[in-house]
Amino acid sequence: MANEPDRLDLRILDALQNDSRISNLALAEQVGLSPSACLKRVQRLHQQGLIERQVALLAPQKLGIALHMVVEVTMERDRKDLYQRFLRRALAAPEVKQCYQVTGEVDFVLIVDVPDMVAYDRFCDEVLYADDNMRKFRTLISRRRNKFDTRVSLPDA
């Protein structure tokens, strides 16, 4: 089979994004394949890296994660080694749920989840202020999460 996903692959991926716990039998029925052919395709999609991993999405508010922050970080000097140093620190911080190196007025955008402001202050000390190349950062505190979607937009399947 080719490396490009075909229409059936896309239908399988779409269904798995809705519910990764769907049984192979139900998935096969939903996409119109035999269970053995469906299982082979899912295994191939894993092997090809189109399915990176399967996870459980938790309700952070029910687990005591009360604050969701968007942090814009601007670096002082534009040097790859200094960016990599900051990136390693950000990626190692468990509070950082997403990290984007971006273009424009800021250099990084971090999505940070913490239980309270004390934890956020600790994060700032250990990650942001600890980097002598960090010029400034701006924190946007989310008041309400109106949409959260982990789905990848696929071509029509």
pLDDT per position as a tens digit, 110-155: 999 999 999 999 999 999 999 999 999 999 999 988 888 888 999 8
Average pLDDT in the 92-107 region?
97
Please give the backbone phi and psi of residue 32, each rounded to the nearest 5 degrees, phi first: 80, 40
The answer on pLDDT for 1 being more than 50 is: no
DSSP 133: T
User: What is the chain's Cα-based Rg?
Assistant: 20
The amino acid occupying position 150 is T
Please give the backbone phi and psi of residue 9, each rounded to the nearest 5 degrees, phi first: -60, -45
Distance between CA atoms of 13 and 48, rounded to whole angstroms?
Answer: 13
Give the global pTM: 0.83
Structural domains in the chain?
7-47 (1.10.10.10), 60-141 (3.30.70.920)
The answer on pLDDT for 72 being more than 50 is: yes
Rounded (5°) CA angle 43-48-54: 60
The proportion of the chain whose per-residue pLDDT surpasses 70, expressed as a percent, equals 98
